[in-house]
Amino acid sequence: MSDTRELLYREALNEALIEEMTNDETVFIMGEGIAERGGSYKVTVDLLEKFGPKRVIDTPIAENGFTGAGVGAALTGMRPIVEILFIDFSMLVLDQIVNQAAKFRFMSGNTARVPLVLRTQGGVGNGLAAQHSQSLEAIFYHIPGLKVVMPSDPYDAKGLLKSAIHCDDPVIFIEHKLLYMNKGMVPDKDYVIPFGEASVKREGEDLTIIAWSAMVPKALKAAEILKEEGISAEVVDPRTLVPLDKSTIIESVRKTEHVLIVQEAIRRGGVASDISSIIQEEAFDYLDSPIAILAGKNIPCPFNLNLEKLVVPQVEDIVKAARKSAYK
């Protein structure tokens, strides 16, 4: 009997929610359309039937109001999971998250905790246009007091969401709209993935490709193509941007001596630039070529599906950038 089974990304998230809500009565979830509809991406399907309307709460379209309620509930000892349908709408709750939740432990002299998970999804896909397609992780990455998690496959999605729910600090848990239907092997047994531990998704010798979220499957496909050309690419997925596993990244750079960082977000002010600066400062002597960054274009996302693909890195873009970096 196998100890793993294949689950969709969204099913792995759903399973994590069910397990944690079963194990801990202080865990509850609220958001728009998450109860009777089961969520727009079906991550919360069946939760209402299992746990009832007091723990699975459909909210009005008022992100700032129900996120503030979540922060307050966390301060009283509950473990709320607040779902923001699109990361674009998280701009409505920056005061509650950035000025309140992220600062409370510090401003209370380490006497208070805000164990809140803000689940949201971002990224380009499905022609949802400029107001529903952004990658805004850099905003939260910049804020002291927040954890930032971006899983790329079902195994990581489940294990990291469980860790997020256990965490005593606010966690920004960012999913990607194009990953929900991706399949992967997930253990039958209970497990968690600690924050701050990157995953080497593919071993390689010639080039390190650092990517997260929906860029990881693309990087893995690119690595297969590069293999046929004689380039051995290692793919490193940080999994959590905060805390960032610098040691795994630097060890990979030390081995390959060439680095390509791939992010879907626009380059300006992005996480990739910060990771590049860390490598430059802490692993410069290992580098045999300049650090390369491949990122989304500095424009709003078009509605047209063909144009949409042009504004974020695709597999062929990663292959082209990798060739250039590996051969320098």
Q: What is the pLDDT of residues 26-59, one digit of tens each?
A: 999 999 999 999 999 999 999 999 999 999 999 9
Query: Between helices 154-166 and 9-23, what is the axis angle to 10°?
Result: 30
- Catalytic site residues? 63, 132
From-to residues of CATH 3.40.50.970 in the chain: 7-187
> Do residues 129 and 153 touch, judged by C-beta distance below 8 A?
no
Say whether pLDDT at 323 is over 90.
yes
Say whether pLDDT at 124 is over 70.
yes
Share of the chain above pLDDT 90, in %: 98
Q: State how far the Cα of 205 lies from the Cα of 307, in Å rounded to an integer.
A: 35
The CATH class of 7-187 is alpha beta
Q: State how far the Cα of 115 lies from the Cα of 200, in Å rounded to an integer.
A: 29
Which residue in 180, 176, 117 sits closest to 148, CA to CA? 117
Mean pLDDT of the chain: 97
Q: Are strands 56-58 and 27-31 parallel, antiparallel or unpaired?
A: parallel
Say whether pLDDT at 14 is over 90.
yes
pLDDT at 117: 98
From-to residues of CATH 3.40.50.920 in the chain: 199-327
pTM above 0.95, yes or no: yes
Share of the chain above pLDDT 70, in %: 99
Say whether pLDDT at 152 is over 60.
yes
pLDDT category, 1, cuts 50, 70, 90?
very low
Say whether pLDDT at 328 is over 70.
no
Q: Can you name the CATH fold of 199-327?
A: Rossmann fold (3.40.50)
